[in-house]
Chain A
Amino acid sequence: MSEPVVLVSDLVKRYGEVEAVRGIGFEVEPGETFGFLGPNGAGKSTTIKILCTLADPTSGTARVAGYDVVKNRDTVRRNIGLVFQDTTLDNYLTGEQNLRFHADLYGVPRQQVAPRMRQVLEMVNLWDRRQSVVGTYSGGMKRRLEIARGLLHAPRVLFLDEPTVGLDPQTRTSIWEYINDLKQREDITIFLTTHYMDEAENCDRIAIIDHGKIVAIDTPEKLKASVGTDRVQITTEDDQVAIRELKERFGLDAAIHEGLLTFNVESGEHFVPRLFAELTAQIKSVSVARPSLDDVFMSYTGKTIRDAEATAGDRNRAHIMAMRRGR
């Protein structure tokens, strides 16, 4: 087993009296796409800042690409690529000039700059627009250019802090196409944060973070499985027969909701073939709904991610008051 590319243990970050990160630990394996999922204000951005050497931890350790983020700051920086929530491009320079600036700052060997630049620009489909001033780019193009720039110096880990925030749904989808695509081309580990549930599905593993703590960490599949069952909805020629047979053969309690015969089952996609084989009533339609990560978040934190965001602002205040009471 190779060494984890990100290794965090007992990490704490305190801003004054507020504990933004409250003792978290996890590992990310090389080649993984690892997602930090949580509401705004949960401690995602603080953690990513520490991993990117932009903030020092109050206590605990973090190693990225084999180096300590405090002791070997510059070595860590050379080995990571960053795409922030807010754009960090120079709007008055062309796309190419922005990349060249980056290449020089990161010391990409001169003879490799041109071919590598072409490669990353082609990867995000901006090669044709490289001579245009960045100010003329759309939001999605800017984000793509930032991804290309983050990859320019061939980092071992690419950090994406809310890579699709503020983009329209169509552009969000296309950004994800690029991210998944680059996994095919580059030997790279991706570490990202998001508060979009659907995007977290793109990750190999997810850590759910709430109130500065990791409440669950696993693959999206297993996280969803841990919440429970899939919901299967069918329509048949004779629903009453179907209900009786479901009870007798599978021990399932089915009921009709909004005209659909509905029941819950452990693993929906494996159950459906058996349903066809064993049910005598003719099946006309089937739909299987998996538990979403929303359900996962709900089951681990007791609230939906939207609710969590609404109260995130109050949390810090509550924190301070709790500490005054000497918790």
Chain B
Amino acid sequence: MAIEVTDRPVDHVTEAIRVAVPDKGLRQDLRAVSIVWRRELIRFRSDRLRAITSLIQPVLFLFVLGTGLSSLASHGLPPGVDYRTFIYPGVLAMSVLFTAIFSAASIVWDREFGFLREMLVAPVSRSALVIGKCLGGATVATLQGIVILALAGLAHVPYDPVLFLTVIGELLLLSFTLTAFGVMMAARIKQIQAFMALTQMLVMPLFFLSGALYPLRGLPTWLSVVTRFDPLTYIVYPMRHAVFTHLSVSPLATSELSPPVTWAGWAVPVGLSLGMVAVMGAVMLGIAIVEFQKTE
């Protein structure tokens, strides 16, 4: 039961504490970035239901779809490689997909419930707010990914610190780019229903076309072309590359299962692949900042 508080002013009169609000500056902006980021974490922590439900899908893919398809897929797989091991990097990417974009959706909620206004009228730069939001979404999504990462052993992926650090770094990059994408959309899309519908419409095709579930090799031309246009392709490949370099499988198996993304026969290096994702993230972040700078 709620405790009722008397609706009366307190009697004692206290001296007002003088507050000198400092001038605008980098330190002030960093403080704003930090509190916007912390708010995402606080809200994530208090929303356990969201944390649990967003883990269901990757777990289903990994252990239900993965197990179900293993016997079928084993014919095409080199001996000693589990299908679950193969799709594991893709499932990791999936585990952050929804969470990252949905944390950007909270901007749409914030607009609806007015809290966005509290942020927009503050004497801080809009870029601080947008960056804080993207970092927050990236952190929360990466934490989700880390839960799936903890299940590595079940997919026969070794618990190797170097591998883990590499994958966490890649997840962070992916999450940041996805959140930036979401924030960019949230600047324009004012209705939560429209935002959710658009997200649903985009996420599954992105996932299916990324090579998360099949190797990008020997595909029909049309599919092969389309996969090259899916941004997710350029993060799934580096993650799979990281996993396969830590497996004890033959080089032949690696080249069959984790072939590099090729552009007209030229293999795109891992560094360039990650660089492209980073650039995309930066560009979308920039657009989001510009969008939020507009006033009435």
Contacts and interface: CB of A to CB of B under 8 A. Distances in A.
B267 interface: no
Contacts of B122: 77, 102, 105-106
A100 B153 CA distance: 42
A166 to B, nearest CB: 13
Given A101-B35, A106-B122, A141-B5, A154 B42 contact: no
B3 interface: yes
B32 interface: yes
Contacts of A53: 121
Given A88-B118, A92-B43, A107 B35 contact: no
Given A74-B123, A102-B118, A119-B14, A153 B21 contact: yes
Contact of B115 (A74, A88, A104, A177): A88
Contacts, number: 130
B22 interface: yes
B247 to A, nearest CB: 42
Nearest to A90: B115
Where chain B touches its partner, the secondary structure class is loop
B118 A109 contact: no
Nearest to B15: A185
Nearest to A86: B114
Contacts of B14: 119, 122, 185
B216 to A, nearest CB: 41
A52 interface: yes
Interface in B1-26: 2-3, 5-10, 13-14, 16-22, 24
B17 A119 contact: yes
Given A104-B32, A186-B16, 18 more contacts: A52-B121, A77-B123, A79-B21, A82-B121, A88-B115, A90-B110, A100-B35, A105-B124, A107-B21, A125-B8, A128-B3, A129-B5, A133-B46, A140-B7, A141-B5, A170-B7, A177-B7, A185-B13
User: What are the 7 tightest A-B residue pairs by CB atom distance, in nearest-first order?
Assistant: A104-B35, A154-B19, A174-B7, A88-B114, A105-B122, A181-B9, A77-B123
Interface of A: 49, 52-56, 74-75, 77-79, 82, 84, 86-93, 97, 100-102, 104-109, 112, 115-116, 119, 122-126, 128-129, 133, 136, 140-141, 152-154, 170-171, 174, 177-178, 181, 184-187
16 contacts: A53-B121, A74-B24, A77-B121, A82-B121, A93-B39, A93-B42, A93-B43, A107-B31, A116-B19, A119-B16, A122-B10, A125-B5, A154-B18, A154-B19, A171-B7, A177-B7
